[in-house]
Structure 1
Amino acid sequence: MPLLRINASTKGLSLHGSAQPVSGALAQVAATQGPVVIMVHGYKYSPFIHKNCPHARIFALQGWPTPLGVHQSDVQGIAFGWHARGGLRQAYSTALDRARDLAQLISSFRGRRDVHLIAHSLGATLCLAALPYLRAGDVGRIVLLSGAAHLGLANHALNTPAGRSCEMFHVTSGENALFDHVFEQVVPDTGAIGRGLSCRHAMRIHIDCNRTLSKLSDLGYPLAPPQRRVCHWSSYTRPGVMLLNAALLNGTLPFCDLRSAIPPQPDLQNQPNPLVTSRKNRIMEWYTRGKGPHHEHAY
């Protein structure tokens, strides 16, 4: 089947741009073979607002689907849309509310097809919050890109039956430090997952670490060096990184091989964010230069 576009709202799951019930499409997908890859967007997108619709932007065929390989005949790609507009706190609350809908979508393939998740920004909160609603084996691999999620939520989710049976990769960078700080200040809790995770089946991949970049290149995944001081989108826009993300999703680059190859990163759970001590006008200069007047990407 071609890419399936599904939206979640207070009314439940629905097909994007179609009045047809979602149950029929899901039953058809569940009856076939091959992995299912569910893509979840982050803050500022909404499938219910035309100019902010993720299906016309990052979920368009040449956005995420083609580089991730979800357009292949044996892979079912699903673009999961949700209303991530409003203030950051409001969008965070919506992400938690929509987690049950994502879990419902995932469970429709239980025992039939392997399911893997990839999410950016606040989509990480949505994916992690879905795990407690699921069973062991419901999710295979999770790739989070510059995830905006709390350590407490992640540690809880990864210690549920579904969480313990999956492998999680967090692709992030020091370029995202400002956004981690904003998330921690606006939605205070237990710190952002960019600080590091203690679960043995979760791995943080710093794509601004020279030693990590060297090891990834040795493994056949060369990435361009950081191009901005501040960037929330480098985990999917940096040249070469989507090939890495695809390999993490489809298992071409196994967790154990990557764990033994890349150098361990320092645990920052109790460390101050280095950008906190920078002057406010300097931070905003970095942010403005990194985002640009017509930046395609949300948050």
Structure 2
Amino acid sequence: MTDDPRPIRADMGPRGLTLDRERLARKLAALPASAPVVVMIHGWRYAPGFAGDCPHGSILSLDPQPGDRRAVSWPRHLGLDGCSALGIALGWRAKCDPWRAHLRAGWTGPALAEIARTVHDLSGRPIQVIAHSMGARVALAALPLVPAGHIHRMILLAAAETRRVALSALDTPAGRSVEVINVTTRENDLFDACFEWGIHLGLRTSIGQGLGRSRPNWHDLWIDQPRTLQALAGLGHVLSDPPRRICHWSPYLRPGTIALYRALIEGRLSAGDLPLHRPGRRWSRLILGARGMDLGSGLPAA
């Protein structure tokens, strides 16, 4: 009997990782050798089993429940049908205050590392990761816990993590071998500021402001900047206008974004082809209007 196309469900709870390893092994065995395996990780305010806020009934589902403007199906739009590419949906308990969610995101890093090791043990394949908000903290927390090559690529969307933590994660064997695309936009400035001041008392800078240093395997992609948008359009990826000037979900709600990530995941687009323009100033989406101007970075140090 043909297995259903839904992503493999994985949940991190008080007793550790719950993962259907038998189904995972079966799906991996049937997957073409070149097909990607992608772990999807949600951010704050989702938690498995919560009605209306369960990620497996929302963004990590092939068929999200209607009525939620944020509930666009990641696996459907990324082409994770279980045949040409396999999706693994990692849920964790983020329906709480942001301080506890921040702690739990760090604690969930070992679950992602366990998934990466399991996929590698079963098939010899690396995984790719796409993560939003505090899900990016989960992703980066896994890098010190796995060997080089177990995680091939990370696409981080409006990431809620600091430069210091990201640089530390990159300075590990897996961190030096992974490719990271850090998708950021000035529509997220308010959320970056709340993360920096509400959790880190203004002492740390979010990677929403870019990594702040050059690393050959790290690519900051500023999807609000006119020159970046023009370059992406030249690559065949036209991004429509964002839904709002202030929007934490813009990196996946904005039409055209998920098709861009799918091209990266499938290898039809190389990270080296992505534009490397400097960002506009913080708050420029509000001060200068929806299309802003590229005024240089003016970013604080990490």
Same fold by TM-score, threshold 0.5 exceeded? yes
Give the TM-score, by structure 1 length.
Answer: 0.83
Amino acid of the residue matched to residue 209 of structure 2?
Answer: R
Q: 1:134-213 to 2 correspondence within 5 Å?
A: 134-188=146-200, 189-197=203-211, 198=213, 199-213=215-229
From 85, 89, 112, the equivalent of 1:79 is 89
Q: By how many angstroms is 1:72 displaced? A: 5.2
Q: By how many angstroms is 1:51 displaced? A: 2.4
Q: Is the 8 A contact 1:36 1:77 kept in 2?
A: yes
Structure 2 CA distance, aligned partners of 1:28 and 1:263?
40
Q: Say whether 1:120 aligns with 2:132.
A: yes
Q: Is the 8 A contact 1:195 1:267 kept in 2?
A: no
Match of 2:290 in 1: none
Q: Is the 8 A contact 1:117 1:249 kept in 2?
A: no
Q: 1:147-296 to 2 correspondence within 5 Å?
A: 147-188=159-200, 189-197=203-211, 198=213, 199-258=215-274, 262-266=275-279, 273-274=282-283
Structure 1 CA distance, aligned partners of 2:81 and 2:28?
17
Q: What runs of 5+ residues in structure 2 fail to find an aligned partner?
A: 64-72, 288-302
Q: Is the 8 A contact 1:46 1:84 kept in 2?
A: yes
SS of the equivalent of 2:91 reads strand
Amino acid of the residue matched to residue 78 of structure 2?
Answer: L
Q: Could you give the per-residue CA deviations for residues 27-47 of structure 1, whole angstroms, max 9, x where no partner exists?
A: 334434432110000000001
SS of the equivalent of 1:101 reads helix
Structure 2 CA distance, aligned partners of 1:151 and 1:119?
17
* % identical aligned pairs: 39
Q: Could you give the per-residue CA deviations for residues 161-213 of structure 1, whole angstroms, max 9, x where no partner exists?
A: 11111110011110000000000011105210012112221111111101100
Q: 1:79-118 to 2 correspondence within 5 Å?
A: 79-110=89-120, 112-118=124-130
Amino acid of the residue matched to residue 87 of structure 2?
Answer: G
Match of 2:299 in 1: none
Q: Say whether 1:65 aligns with 2:75.
A: yes
Amino acid of the residue matched to residue 250 of structure 2?
Answer: S
Q: What runs of 5+ residues in structure 1 fail to find an aligned partner?
A: 16-21, 279-299
SS of the equivalent of 2:52 reads helix
Q: Could you give the per-residue CA deviations for residues 41-99 of structure 1, whole angstroms, max 9, x where no partner exists?
A: 00000013222101111112151111111115121111110000211110000001111
Amino acid of the residue matched to residue 21 of structure 2?
Answer: S
Amino acid of the residue matched to residue 246 of structure 1?
Answer: R
Q: Could you give the per-residue CA deviations for residues 217-248 of structure 1, whole angstroms, max 9, x where no partner exists?
A: 01000001234210001100001111011112
Q: Is the 8 A contact 2:179 2:217 kept in 1?
A: yes
